[in-house]
């Protein structure tokens, strides 16, 4: 089964920005938020096609699709609802109080993982990534695949 790599950011924002963007019920609005801290993540998800992989990724990260929003080119937010995800849109949601932003998705090459040396700008063989993790002392912290 094909594997797809999702790149997303975890952003710490003020409670005021969180309430303004998400409120009790997400609605159309402005996505101007002050990011206090940001971490980047990637995750591989299997699926028969990109839509199934996206659905699996979102189910793993959302309690309810009703809290999923997307951002248009003018940085306006829109409630995504229960419709099938659009692979071209940038999605945001809250996860454990943090603002999450799905930035990109691509099909992963079998047996390859994101390069830990170049911070995910390319792919390397999984065994090479494991060697790098052991050499740098990150073997306990990093998992590949």
- CA-closest candidate to residue 45, choices 6, 93, 94: 6
Tokens coding 117? 């040396």
User: What pLDDT band is residue 85 in, cutting at 50, 70 and 90?
Assistant: confident
Residues 92 and 139 in one domain: no
Does residue 96 contact residue 110 with C-beta atoms inside 8 Å?
Answer: no
Q: Is 33 exposed, middle or buried (0-12, 13-18, 19+ CB in 10 A)?
A: middle
State the Cα–Cα distance between residues 95 and 39, nearest whole angstrom: 13
Q: Look at residue 126 and tell me whether its pLDDT is greater than 70.
A: no
* pLDDT at residue 140 tops 60: no
SS3 78: strand
Neighbours of 106 (CB within 10 A): 12
Over residues 16-43, the mean pLDDT reads 81
Please tell me the pTM assigned to this model.
Answer: 0.71
Q: Are 125 and 111 in contact (CB under 8 A)?
A: yes
Supply the pLDDT for residue 102. Answer: 94
Same domain, yes or no: 46 and 95: yes
DSSP-derived pairing of the beta strands 98-108 and 123-125: unpaired
More confident residue, 20 or 105: 105
Domain that holds residue 50: 3-108
Q: How many domains are there within the chain?
A: 2
Q: Are residues 93 and 143 in the same domain?
A: no
Residues 38 and 59 in one domain: yes
User: Per-residue confidence at 39, pLDDT binned at 50, 70, 90?
Assistant: very high
Instruction: Please give the mean pLDDT across all residues of the chain.
Output: 80
In angstroms, the CA 138 to CA 145 distance is 15
Are 88 and 33 contained in the same domain? Answer: yes
């Amino acid at each position: 089964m094909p594997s797809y790599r999702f790149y997303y950011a975890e952003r710490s924002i003020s409670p005021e920005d969180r309430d303004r963007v998400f409120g009790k019920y997400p609605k159309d609005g402005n996505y101007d938020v002050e990011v206090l801290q940001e971490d980047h993540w990637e995750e591989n998800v299997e699926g028969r096609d990109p839509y199934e992989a996206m659905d699996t990724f979102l189910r793993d990260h959302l309690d309810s699709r009703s809290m999923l929003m997307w951002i248009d080119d003018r940085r306006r937010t829109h409630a995504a609802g229960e419709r099938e995800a659009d692979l071209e849109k940038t999605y945001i949601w809250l996860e454990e109080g943090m603002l999450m932003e799905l930035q990109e998705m691509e099909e992963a090459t079998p047996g390859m993982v994101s390069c830990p040396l170049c911070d995910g700008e390319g792919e390397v063989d999984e065994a090479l990534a494991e060697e790098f993790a052991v050499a740098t002392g990150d073997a306990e912290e990093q998992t590949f695949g």
